Amino acid sequence: MIDTEKIRVGTIWLDGCSGCHMSFLDMDEKIIELAEYMDVVYSPYVDAKEVPENIDLFIVEGAISTDHDLKIINTIRKNSKKILALGDCAITGNVSTLKNLAGTDAALEKGYFDLADLNKGKYPDKIVPKLLEKVIPLNEAVDVDYFVPGCPTPANAIYEVLKGLINGIEVDVSKYTRFGI
Ligand code: SF4
């Protein structure tokens, strides 16, 4: 339960396709209603460069694939009272873990040698974060408080969960969503 009147919320997408963030925007006019109770202080939707401290709820899309993902999820855990894993990639790894079948070297070979049109064979390791040996879901890296499945998570499930948290209750969204939809 979140105990402040206007909750401070962060959102981020890590190794995801942004589809779950698109669903967040699909709440449409309900975002205006939620904005009365929430301040979004860090997100692709706002221009903040650093993860702020004292976040009440951090909504995380995507799995953990790089050393940068790992660093930022640990900062988010340290700075947040609650973390919500949004969507199947965050919860199970989902399509993001397909790379695990091939391995990191094969994935880099495919992306930077086989399929590259420009700069073939040049992995930009000063710009691109280092891939982890294995893509993992959020809860293999940090403790996660809430899990809201779906690929993407439907907008009405996101709305019901956020409204519930604002009201201090955890809601069952199984009627709106399940893994894989
Ligand atoms: Fe995209 Fe689906 Fe992963 Fe959400 S769960 S980030 S929609 S692939």
Task: Give per-residue pLDDT as tens, 100-127.
Answer: 999 998 988 888 889 988 888 887 777 8
Q: What is the extent of the structural domain holding 84?
A: 7-97+133-167
Residue 105 lies in a domain: no
Residue 122 lies in a domain: no
Percent of the chain with pLDDT over 70: 97
Phi, psi for 29 (deg, rounded to 5) = -65, -15
Residue 86 lies in a domain: yes
d(CA 115, CA 30): 42
Q: Which amino acid is at 74?
A: N
DSSP symbol at 87: S
- Tokens encoding 115: 């399929």
Q: Is the pTM of this model over 0.85?
A: yes
Bridge partners, 83 (sequence order): 58
Candidates 26, 95, 98, 135: which one to mutate for ligand 1, based on the most atoms within 8 Å of Cβ? 95
Residue 56 lies in a domain: yes
Residue 158 lies in a domain: yes
Largest pairwise CA distance in the chain = 53
Residue 172 lies in a domain: no
Ligand 1 pocket, 23 CB below 6 A?
no
Ligand 1 pocket, 62 CB below 6 A?
yes
SS3 103: coil
Q: How many domains does the chain have?
A: 1
pLDDT at 21: 97
Residue 57 has pLDDT above 80, yes or no: yes
Residue 103 lies in a domain: no
Q: Residue 13 belongs to a domain with what CATH number? A: 3.40.50.700
pLDDT at 181: 61
d(CA 44, CA 72): 14
Centre of ligand 1 to C-alpha 5, Å, is 31
Angle at 167 between CA 29 and CA 18, to 5 degrees: 45
Task: Give per-residue pLDDT as tens, 135-176.
Answer: 999 999 999 999 999 999 999 999 999 999 999 888 888 888
